[in-house]
Amino acid sequence: MLDPKRLRSELDTIAARLAIKGYTLDVARFQSMDAERKTLQADMESLQNERKSGSKAIGALMKSGQTDEANAQKTRMSEVGEALDSAKARFDELAEQLSQWMLEMPNIPDASVPAGKDESDNVQLRVVGERPQMDFEPKDHVELGEAFGGLDFDRAAAVSGSRFAILSGQVARLHRALAQFMIDTHTQEHGYTEAYVPYLVQAHALQGTGQLPKFEEDLFKAGDNHYLIPTAEVPLTNLVRDSIVDELPQQWVAHTPSFRSEAGSYGRDTRGMFRQHQFDKVELVWMTRPEQSWDALESLVGHAEAILSKLGLHFRVVNLCGGDLGFGAAKTYDIEVWLPGQQQFREISSCSNTLDFQARRMQARTRNAAGQTEYLHTLNGSGLAVGRCLIAVMENYQQADGRVAVPQVLQPYMGGLTHIG
């Protein structure tokens, strides 16, 4: 949620920044609502003062025996009370309308976010590693996995419908090995605390991180007030809701399944495992003081990059343009891994700084050097998407005979296996 005070004082500037996200802020509507709010506030203060002075006057009139005047004043005070109740009711109604509207306003893009409409306008920052050289026509992960029985999309569809997969045998083991390798690297080398979190959360948790109310169609609802998590970012970030946190920064990591309806992705990436309703992800979440968050973003993306470098994969890092930037993000770096089967870079991690956007929604605060409370900052990123990393390993390490070499860092997690398939 945006800072209401900043929105009032920098309305035109904020409207211009939000426009690069493709969001049109109704400036006239906000000004009208805010003007009515100020008028009501002034009216309530005036009525409260009149009621206070009128109550004193009634006592004085009664004491001096001026009964008629006292009764007239009582009648006036009754009218004042009714007017005050009416003003309060409208003020509360207006505040609720404004609050609900602001819940659907996206975060303000940082000045370093480039303008642009979609992913074609993202700015490449660096390219790491080399593309694998193959003297044969590379296959995609679907061909590879189905050839040796490790991936089954038909049986998954029979059980659950489209956008699901069944992994078995060595492919399932490689998938598990990747997740364990990521968790071990982040906890042992990058300073994260591992967490096991619920896969079901209540609506207020999703409101805190920004998925609700705007993106309910992207979620799977379970029961009256529970939803399956779209990412571990939701339970991890909500660890600090309604609290004042003095020990910062905090770094959390969790391996969970993620559940997404992919409502806006009809027809996209229908082949294989790339875009599914259920997928595993190792999620990284930071909570920092405001002055720490930009340095934390660089650390966060570096930790995600380290996983790909250890796996020997070719990737690039891009700065997302405004049109491709997520709802809650002030700035996002995407990491895109090279997939030989598609002959292109594809996203495997998004690392974002949300500044105080989520903290305001969650009422998560810290104390500054002067002892005053202020909203902390939150960041999140994939470290990495496990299924997409499995795709990358299978396609980049495929052999001419159809087998897949196991990266050296994963072999201890695979019982010493050097190849699968």
**Would you say 79 is a known binding-site residue?**
no
Q: Is 400 annotated as a binding residue?
A: no
Q: Is 108 annotated as a binding residue?
A: no
CATH fold for the domain made of 119-420: BirA Bifunctional Protein; domain 2 (3.30.930)
pLDDT value at position 363?
A: 98
Every domain of the chain and the residues it spans? 26-104, 119-420
98-133 residue pLDDT tens: 999 999 999 999 999 999 999 999 999 999 999 999
Q: In what order do the strands lie in the sheet with 250-259?
A: 123-128, 315-319, 331-339, 344-353, 377-385, 278-288, 250-259, 193-194
Chain mean position to CA 289: 18
Q: Is-cis flag, bond preceding 213, omega within 30? A: yes
Instruction: Read off the pLDDT of residues 273-324 as tens digits, 9 standing for 90 and up.
Output: 999 999 999 999 999 999 999 999 999 999 999 999 999 999 999 999 999 9
Would you say 288 is a known binding-site residue? Answer: no
115 assigned ligand-binding residue: no
269 pLDDT above the threshold of 90: no
How far does Cα 166 stand from its chain's mean position? 28
**Pairing of β 243-244 and β 364-367:** parallel
- 264 pLDDT band, cuts 50/70/90, is confident
DSSP code, position 364: E
- Would you state the pLDDT for residue 213? 95
Q: Could you tell me how far CA 49 lies from the centroid of its own chain?
A: 45
262 is in an annotated binding site: yes
pLDDT score of 145:
96
Supply the residues annotated as catalytic: 260, 275, 347, 350, 388
C-beta of residue 308 within 8 angstroms of C-beta of residue 315: yes
- Whether 62 shows a pLDDT value over 90: the answer reads no
Q: Average pLDDT of 26-42?
A: 97
> Taking the chain, what is the end-to-end CA distance rounded to the nearest angstrom?
49
